[in-house]
Amino acid sequence: MAKSGLDRTMDAGWDGSPGGASPEGLSMPFEGAVRAARSRRSGARRPRPSGWLTAGLILAAAAGCRRDEVTHFRVPKTSPAPALAAMAATPGAPAAGELPAPPTPGGALRWKLPAGWTQAQGGGPMRYATLKPPVPGKVDVTVIVLPGAAGGELANVNRWRNQIGLPPADEAGLAAARKTLRTGAGDVSVYDFASEGQVSTRTVAGLALVEGSSWFIKMTGDSSAVGAARPAFLELLGSLRRDVR
Amino acid sequence: MTSARHRIWDLLTSLKLTIGCLAALMVLVVACTLAQVHLGTFGAVERYMRSWLVWWDIPGTVLSVPVFPGGALAGLVLVVNLIAAQARRLDLSARKAGIWIIHAGLILLVAGEFVTGMYQTDNQLIFREGETTNFVQSPRELELALIDTTDPAHDDVYGIPERLLARADAVEIHGTPITLRIRRFYENSELFNLPPGQAAVATAGVGTGVLVQEAPPVTTDDRMNQAAAFVEPRAGDRSYGTWLVSNALGAPQSFVHEGRTYLLTMRARREYLPYALTLKDFRHDVYPGTDIPKNFSSLVHLSGRGGEERDALIYMNQPLRHDGKAFYRASFGEGDRLSVLQVVENPGWLLPYVSCVLVTLGLLVHFAIALRRGLRRQAQARAAPGPVTPAGAERASRAALGGLT
């Protein structure tokens, strides 16, 4: 049984010393206990009856302030920092202590539109293109391009999983879920996730790294609609090629 | 001066003010219910019930004007009115004990809502069967997390709430040499690829290729703001560039200072727990031959402080209460393997129950006192010489009802 372990301090006026470095603060070994390192003022007087309103206002202000504080938790590692590892593995990632170089504009991708599909340029924030499959039901197909690794494959896949209510996957789960498609634009990682809870949604997505830019071709929507459009979508992914002008 | 003080005192103790406050609260409840269509439950409650004033945005301008007292103001005035009226009209005697208890119950009821509004936290815990987790996350609020991942055994996670990002120019991260300068914060935003030739605000990370445009805040329950911020980590005189952080990017970015690696990521606000919960089994039972749900339940294992190890079954209206938090069943997914728990922490959760008990008790006490007084008068009337007339009987009946009329 995995045990949790963490310390917690609350900054901004609660700690007696910066960063919770007081004996109550950081570095407390976890034994199933979290202590908020809020120093308690000893000898606090009981408010007089005439001061109840003032006390109430102070309590209200304290409650409001507490929600705006910087929190600090010391948590045991559950897995190596995957996103960082993904970034480090990316060609051109910054070396320690250096700033990353600005991304170079990558070449565009082209694809063959399956029969019956329609395409519009843009169509929303960050969208390179919006596609529409000829299937009934709610389904949204987007092509998004971001410079660089865009944070890494695991973080982006987990974002998609989060969008349909699935918990994050780890590196092992990512590798198990990944299918690789060889295309004219290089290898494309393909993922297929379904959430079959109260709202049945499904996401099928391809991820390609082309000349320093990350391309995300994603279809998401009702499970039935995505399932109907999936063969044509995979056909579209297979037709990806670089746009050589 | 004295007459002005009298007028204020008369106003504060006025029954009309009580009626006015109750009427205002009724109007607010109706308006809040209707507003949920566009604002969502949380937004409507914040705007109508937990605000001092209800503001109206004048169309075509950036101006807002208050048009009605908010629930907080109406509740506060009602409490002051109840206390003042009680102090003025009621004498501290056993005869009025019931009225005192009823008033105390009502005051406690309104005070309980203030405590809830100020102190309640509402989070979610999401896990699959077999998974163990030790944090809950907000379904609405975001934070910028600065995570020191250097130590091989643990991470130091510093969470800067979005409300602090919205108003602070710089946030000093105590316990680290890092100060984050907040160059710009967007409560909600849309991200676009940076058009060619346009200069980026960010000088480091993925944001160097992204254009950020402000968007109106999300108001419905099923959507979350896409917050964004340009932040500049600094250590002393050294700058690590300006980074774009956004929950839309969803991917941590990192920099290294004096051998320590820091991740930057905008995400749902987290609270780590001093214990862990493991989802052992989730059940979604249906009536035979139908898809109609019969039972949802989550069997969890709690690994707590001091070696506490126990199982708990969470099902409809039967939350797990532990360490001041209540874990309710909320949702499920992934082929009935995923369970979502609503995690509520409210130090004043008992107050409504206590106030209901007080009001009930006060009514019973008052009725008992009035009944006793009425019966005694009836007995006195019977004992008195002379014929019983209809008017006398009516007086006796009224006396029996006593202060209840």
Q: Is the pLDDT of residue B70 over 90?
A: yes
Q: What is the pLDDT of residue A106?
A: 44
Size of interface A-B (CB pairs under 8 A): 238
Contact B250 A6 (CB under 8 A): no
In the beta sheet, which residues pair with residue A220?
A140, A203
Q: In the prediction, which pLDDT does B387 show?
A: 60
In this prediction, residue B377 carries a pLDDT of: 93
In the predicted model, is pLDDT for residue A5 greater than 60? Answer: no
What pTM value is reported for the model? 0.61
Q: What is the pLDDT of residue B317?
A: 86
> For position B396, what pLDDT does the model report?
58
pLDDT of residue A20: 33
In whole angstroms, give the CA distance from residue A105 to residue A94: 17
Q: Is the pLDDT of residue A245 over 50?
A: no
- pLDDT for res A32: 32
Of B128, B251, B257, the CB nearest to A152: B251
Report the mean per-residue pLDDT for chain A: 66
Q: Do B250 and A159 touch (CB under 8 A)?
A: yes
- CB contact residues (below 8 A), chain B span 336-375, against chain A: 336, 338, 340
Residue A87 and residue B253 in contact, taking contact as beta carbons nearer than 8 Å: yes
Return the residue of A nearest to B242 by Cα.
A99
pLDDT at position B141 over 70: yes
As a whole number, the mean pLDDT across chain B is 87
Which range scores top for mean pLDDT: A129-133, A189-193, B34-38?
Answer: A189-193
Q: Residue B22 pLDDT > 90, yes or no?
A: yes
Give the model's pLDDT for residue B326.
Answer: 94
CA distance B2 to A32: 61
CA-closest candidate to residue A24, choices A72, A88, A90, A62 = A72
DSSP string, A5-70: --EEEE-TTSSSSGGG-STTSS-PPPSS---B-PPPPTTPPPPPGGGHHHHHHHHHHHHHHHHTSP
pLDDT greater than 80 at residue B131: yes
The Cα–Cα gap between A136 and A132 comes to 11
**B173/chain A closest Cα distance in angstroms:** 7
- Find the Cα–Cα–Cα–Cα dihedral B272, B276, B281, B283, rounded to 10°: -40
| For residue A79, pLDDT beyond 90 | no
Reply yes or no on whether the pLDDT at A86 is more than 70. no
The distance between the two most distant Cα atoms of chain B, rounded to a whole number of Å, is 108
**Does the pLDDT at position A69 exceed 80?**
yes
Q: Token digits for B165?
A: 């990002």
Predicted confidence at residue A124, as pLDDT, reads 52
pLDDT at A58 over 80: no
Can you give the pLDDT at residue A92? 33
Over residues B203-218, the mean pLDDT reads: 84
Q: Are B182 and B264 in contact (CB under 8 A)?
A: no
Q: How far is CA B60 from the centre of its chain?
A: 32
The string of pLDDT tens digits covering residues A144-192 is 877 666 667 888 888 788 778 778 888 888 888 999 988 888 889 999 9
Confidence check: pLDDT of B64 > 90: no
Contact at 8 Å (CB) between A16 and A22? Answer: yes
Residues B368-388: tens digit of each pLDDT: 999 999 999 999 998 876 665
**Whether pLDDT at B169 is above 80:** yes
Nearest to A4 among B155, B159, B275 (CB): B275
Give me the amino acid identity at B388.
V
The 10s digit of each residue's pLDDT in B280-337 is 999 988 898 888 888 899 999 999 888 889 999 999 889 999 999 999 998 887 677 8
- Tokens 């108003």 map to which residue? B167
Pick A72 or A108 by higher pLDDT. A72
Would you place residue A11 in the very low, low, confident or very high pLDDT band (cuts 50, 70, 90)? very low
Among the ranges given (A32-41, B183-192, B301-310), the one the predictor scored with the smallest mean pLDDT: A32-41
pLDDT of B352 over the 50 cut: yes
A 127-186 residues with CB below 8 A of B? 128, 145-152, 155-156, 158-159, 162, 165-167
Interface of A with B in 86-105 (CB under 8 A): 87, 94, 96-97, 99-100, 102-103, 105
Cβ contacts of A79 on chain B, cutoff 8 Å: none
Which of residues A127 and B31 earns the better pLDDT score?
Answer: B31
Q: Å from B297 to nearest chain A CA? A: 14
What is residue B374's predicted lDDT score, i.e. its pLDDT? Answer: 93
Chain A hits for B164, Cβ within 8 Å:
68-70
B300 touches chain A (CB under 8 A): no
Instruction: Answer whether B118 touches A (CB < 8 Å).
Output: yes
Which residues 225-284 of B have a C-beta within 8 angstroms of A?
Answer: 240-241, 248-257, 259, 261, 263, 265, 270-276, 278
